Amino acid sequence: MKITVTVNGEAHTRDVEPRLLLVHFLRDELDLTGTHWGCDTSNCGACVVWLDRVPVKSCTVLAVMAAGKEVRTVEGLERDGELDPVQKGFSECHGLQCGFCTPGMLMTSRRLLDRRPDPSEAEIREALSGQICRCTGYENIVRSVRWAAEHPAGRPAETAETEDVTP
């Protein structure tokens, strides 16, 4: 099938098998390897991307389902050469160890902060409950998200909606 998907603001047209997963489309067709493919069962959350501004686990979405839609990946967080505050927070507060879960954590955290600019620790933990980190105890990840909330760098929220942020 021929599909066109807008990824990080750029339209991409490809012929794909109808069964191709979005995670593989991003990694193999577009060479956007920031989105990690972890468990293949939608349990780990390493593959979280945004599909029309909603976090989804890209290992459960077919590429053809993204046709005509907007996808935002971890590569799309940085803007004009400037890291997103969430990316800076993970660096400042040591929110990663091996880094495998980090792309999904970053995408989910950005969504949370766009919806709730000053989340409580409980809200951060709830939003990240669909993400599995096998290396950390989540303490530094929560600190990283709090750091980003406290250092928004004048970043406007993507939307003003207050819907669920857990992928």
Write down all domains in the chain, each with its CATH number in brackets. Answer: 2-76 (3.10.20.30), 85-150 (1.10.150.120)
Q: Tell me the per-residue pLDDT of 33-50, one tens digit each, with 9 for 90 and over.
A: 999 988 877 889 999 999
Provide the pLDDT confidence category of residue 94 given band limits of 50, 70 and 90. very high
Dump pLDDT digits (tens) for 135-145.
Answer: 888 999 999 99
What global pTM score does this model have? 0.88
| Share of the chain residues as helix, strand and coil, in percent rounded to the nearest 5 | 35, 15, 50
| CA separation for the pair 151, 40 (Å, rounded) | 34
